[in-house]
Chains A and B, each alone.
Chain A
Amino acid sequence: MSEYHPILPGLILGLPLLGAALNGLGAFAWRENKTVPTIVGPLTVLGAFALALWNLSAMRGAPPHEASLVSYWTWFSSGDLHVGVTLLFDQLSLLMTLIVTGVGGLIHVYSVGYMRDDRGYSRYFSYLNLFIFFMLVLVLAANYVLMFVGWEGVGLCSYLLIGFWYENREYSDAGKKAFIVNRIGDFGFLIAMFMLYTAFGTLDMLSIFERAPGTLVAGGVLVTAITLFLFLGCVGKSAQIPLHVWLPDAMAGPTPVSALIHAATMVTAGVYLIARSGVLFALAPFSQAVVASVGAGTALFAASIALQQNDIKKVLAYSTISQLGYMFLAVGVGAYTAGIFHLMTHAFFKALLFLGAGAVIYALHEAWDETGEHGDPNDMRNYGGLNRFMPITWRTMWVGTLAIAGVFPFAGFFSKDEIIWEAGVRGYAVLWGVGIAVALLTAGYMTRLMVMTFHGANRSFGEDGAGERSHLHEVPRVMWAPLVALAVLSAIGGWVQIPEALPLLPSVNLLHAWLEPVFQPALAVAGAGAAHGVVAVHGATVAPGESFSRTSPLGGGEALWAVLATVPAVAVVLLVFRSLSRRRYRRAAQAPEPRGLAAVLYHKWYVDELYDRIIVRPLLALWRGCWRIVDHRLIDGSVNGLAGLSRIAGWTGSQLQSGRLSTYILVFMIGALLILGSLAF
């Protein structure tokens, strides 16, 4: 095991923490000074990115199949349980570190412009840095306990950031909702940890994965329970059905926060956890099926909702949930590399789309401030025709849209195609079909977003707002520069993994080769299970060395289906573009209510209403009962009753004291006699 100098990985973690501390101090000490957060905030994260790059070059030189453990100190020891502050450096965690610090760093730079006039500027960067720190703890942790620290830390920071504008009751409620819904998932994570400890006597990931195939019965109850509880944690953190409700509300935070939390980092933690624990999931085919089904269901469900949302950030929020569903579909069918691949490309294009949406909101806000116009700056019905005013945002967002829609040759094409393909060759025909359907829906809602925002006539101002429209202009360079960088990544980010089957293209296998040592044990377990018939991979024939039959459920090779997947996507983009461009939208205030299926989608399948009926209201009724009966009657009653009793006793006693001396003396005499009498006998 090659040993790094422990200071280097420590610095990757330490820089954002230092930034958080400095900016946190600044929020109190030099609140008005914006220079310090501007420098410290982005620079610490970009510094961590540079260090991670350095590590990458070092790791490329090192022999593969080795993970580096960097131990700092023992956190606690209790009986047989020793939990250390130990970081795990392998190909997967390094890739995650690069994504988190790289995309995170760009978002920090963007935030300098977006949050420029905010009163909580220093506080904002403090939270943002702290978030990066905890996310790095999460991905670098070498044991589940330390990972849980990061897991909870990002939960805390997301609460702080979503409720950043806490003066607004609705926003701070959204922060609480995110935190509370996540607690449900965290409970699952904790239970899984307890079960892992009882099974293995340790919580170190590497030794668990090493011993898992020998200790746990493949397909057994224990491993299935462990993985299902782990998955419950992922469902909460990654906003899958049924715990997805927090993510759309979390759009209450500043838009760069949405980009950071909901694109690049926190929500992907669940995918990372499953990919990391791939060995365990490979032993539990039932859990894998659950993961893949929930992922596919969520992808379809959220994509359908995104079709009818008018809030630009809500569209992107449901799009994120849908894309996360894809990732879970991938890791659920055992295609870990495909899942991580999509995680990476999604980080690029979703961060781009969120930041682009933020740019639009920012521009509209500025223009409305100058002209005194009012409205909801998040509502796409108030946009329209912005391409003339914001050319950079417009072009970069189109890149992001094409990437997420899976149009060749943008990043999303390769990652999404790989997921759908992997589901297909493993014999999951239904999931394969859902994957293709969701790809088409994705192309549809994203094109709708682009058309409503950038094309057609502008609706931001009143009837004749020609003069006022001149107030609309492109965002400052500090904001569009990250957009361009992310657009480049969204365009070419997929080229790290180009399938062999595609004609006319060089075959690139960087990502698979890079992650292969990490996922090898899991794939070996899955392969062995399939060979012994323990792990039922539906219909797929698996031979050692060769993985799966390279045909789709409907026949045909990978190249054919890659083409067949992208052509409809392009077709949908063009079709939606043509039909919606001609449509005349009305401003939010005058728009009619949606009807029929559109209303169902507009109201998000009434999930929030359903939860309100079956969980929130019964609980409220229960608490109200407790308040009225237990609190008022029992507790208050007993306290007040005691007080009343004391008063009665006091009044009775006070009546003995009449003030008549002769009475006192009589009583005294009787008492004396009694004492004397008792002495005599």
Chain B
Amino acid sequence: MTGAPLGDLALVVSAALFAIGVAGVLLRRNVIIVFMCVELMLNAVNLSFVAFSRTHGIDGQIVVLFVISVAAAEATVGLALILAIFRHYESVDLDLFRRLRW
């Protein structure tokens, strides 16, 4: 990958991170891990925004700031939910949480 521009490299890394995040969400059963994978996906997207801002102007970096702040809020809510569920089930196994249906 030598010779490739820095932007392209960043996009490749971003795609890899996103894919890892998706795989983690889909495959792992530990809620905490899944939650971390979601954060990973968010940051993969952040990375591509920053990469694009090199060519498309400052907008992408501004969006990243927004995403980080929203993600922080989301993290508190998500962790609070996980805590509540954990208190109920005494477990963090995602497959146990099957009551969200008809």
Contacts and interface: CB of A to CB of B under 8 A. Distances in A.
Contact of A659 (B22, B29, B101): B101
B36 to A, nearest CB: 15
B102 to A, nearest CB: 5
B101 A661 contact: no
A661 B102 contact: no
Interface in A640-678: 654, 657-662, 665-666, 669
B98 A658 contact: yes
A669 B26 contact: yes
A660 to B, nearest CB: 6
A662 B94 contact: yes
A661 B99 contact: no
B26 A660 contact: no
A666 B26 CA distance: 7
A660 B94 CA distance: 8
Contacts of A660: 95, 98
A400 B29 CA distance: 109
A665 B100 contact: no
B100 A659 contact: yes
Contacts of A654: 102
A661 B97 CA distance: 8
Interface in A387-407: none
Nearest to B25: A665
B101 A658 contact: yes
Interface string B74-102: 00000000000000000000110111111
A680 to B, nearest CB: 15
Interface residues of A, number: 10
Contacts of B25: 662, 665
A657 B101 contact: yes
Q: Give the interface residue-count category, chain B.
A: 10 to 19
Contacts of B95: 660, 662
B22 A661 contact: no
A674 to B, nearest CB: 15
A305 to B, nearest CB: 74
Main secondary structure of the interface of A (DSSP, over half): helix
Interface string B32-53: 0000000000000000000000
Contact of A657 (B22, B94, B102): B102
A658 B101 CA distance: 7
A525 to B, nearest CB: 85
Contacts of A658: 98, 101
A665 B26 contact: yes
Nearest to B31: A661
Contacts of B94: 661-662
Nearest to B94: A661
A662 B26 CA distance: 5
A661 B25 CA distance: 9
A48 to B, nearest CB: 76
A662 B96 CA distance: 11
A319 B102 CA distance: 78
A665 B27 CA distance: 10
A354 to B, nearest CB: 76
Contacts of B99: 659
Interface string A439-466: 0000000000000000000000000000
Contacts of A657: 101-102
A150 to B, nearest CB: 67
A671 to B, nearest CB: 14
A657 B98 CA distance: 10
A77 to B, nearest CB: 65
B22 A669 contact: yes
Contacts of B102: 654, 657
A104 to B, nearest CB: 75
Contacts of A669: 22, 26
Nearest to A655: B102
Interface in B63-83: none
Contacts of A666: 26
Contacts of B26: 662, 665-666, 669
A659 B100 CA distance: 5
B14 to A, nearest CB: 16
A658 B97 CA distance: 11
Interface string B1-35: 00000000000000000000010011101000000
Nearest to B95: A660
Nearest to A663: B26
Interface string A471-502: 00000000000000000000000000000000
A384 B54 CA distance: 127
Interface in A486-539: none
Nearest to B38: A665
B72 to A, nearest CB: 22
B21 to A, nearest CB: 11
A654 B26 CA distance: 22
Most interface-central of A659, A661, A669 (chain B CB within 10 A)? A661
Contacts of A665: 25-26
Interface in A602-657: 654, 657
Most interface-central of B22, B27, B94, B102 (chain A CB within 10 A)? B102
Contacts of B97: 659, 661
A654 B25 CA distance: 24
A586 B26 CA distance: 103
Nearest to A662: B26
A657 B94 CA distance: 16
Contacts of A661: 94, 97, 100
A405 B59 CA distance: 119
Nearest to B100: A659
Interface in A242-279: none
Contacts of B22: 669
A537 B102 CA distance: 91
Contacts of B98: 658-660
A129 to B, nearest CB: 68
A666 B22 CA distance: 9
Contacts of B101: 657-659
B38 to A, nearest CB: 10
Nearest to A661: B94
Contacts of A662: 25-27, 29, 94-95
A662 B101 CA distance: 13
Contacts of B100: 659, 661
A8 B100 CA distance: 86
A660 B27 CA distance: 12
Given A654-B102, A661-B94, A662-B25, 19 more contacts: A657-B101, A657-B102, A658-B101, A659-B97, A659-B98, A659-B99, A659-B100, A659-B101, A660-B98, A661-B97, A661-B100, A662-B26, A662-B29, A662-B94, A665-B25, A665-B26, A666-B26, A669-B22, A669-B26
22 contacts: A654-B102, A657-B101, A657-B102, A658-B98, A659-B98, A659-B100, A659-B101, A660-B95, A660-B98, A661-B94, A661-B97, A661-B100, A662-B25, A662-B27, A662-B29, A662-B94, A662-B95, A665-B25, A665-B26, A666-B26, A669-B22, A669-B26
Give the 6 A-B residue pairs with the shortest CB-CB distance, closest first.
A659-B98, A659-B101, A657-B101, A654-B102, A659-B100, A657-B102
